[in-house]
Amino acid sequence: MSILKSLADALEPWATLYKDVKPVQIGVMFTHLGALVVGGGLAVAEDRQVIRAERAGTLGPASITSERSAVHRTVVAALVVLVLSGLAMLAADVETYLVSPVYWSKMTLVALLLVNGAWMLRIEKRLAADPGLAPAGWRLMAVASKLSAVLWLSIVLMGVWLENAA
């Protein structure tokens, strides 16, 4: 018996519940999409502010605010909910998802988003500590913001693709 089949067998009670009880399926999907809307929406809105400030030539110390910090906490919380609800959906059909190139492409994008988020936080901490940091630091923040927006939207695309390919 393969590892994948053993895993599917172990998760069969959850898979059956998920497939047979529509409120469970709806609840998990709503939780996943709700966290995506909240976390991704806030992140993209913050990214947009940085991109607009860069285009206007006003990207600088005023871009690092306590509000950004509060947004990051909410985004991180939403990411935790996304991971947990995503694992619940994965557990409902591991035999389909774990062999899907689309699933692994989405997971690669999620990993890149997390790396980019950590990079962005590092840049922001440096800029907050030294607001007069060279313009290169502010340009890096703009690059990280653009990458963040692209990654969030790409993850949504891959999620839609995954649901329609499964």
64, pLDDT greater than 70 = no
The closest alpha carbon to 63, from 75, 49, 74, belongs to 49
- Within 10 A of 124 (CB to CB), how many other CB atoms are there? 19
Range with the poorest average pLDDT among 33-42, 58-67, 88-97, 103-112: 58-67
Instruction: Give the Å distances, CA to CA, from 51 to 15, 46, 129, 150.
Output: 43, 9, 21, 12
Residue 138 — pLDDT band, cuts 50, 70, 90?
A: confident
Q: Do 78 and 35 touch, CB atoms closer than 8 A? A: yes
Domain count, the chain: 1
Contact present, 15 and 92 (Cβ < 8 Å)? yes
Structural domain boundaries enclosing 98: 3-165
Question: Is residue 77 over pLDDT 90?
Answer: yes
47, 148 Cβ separation under 8 angstroms: yes
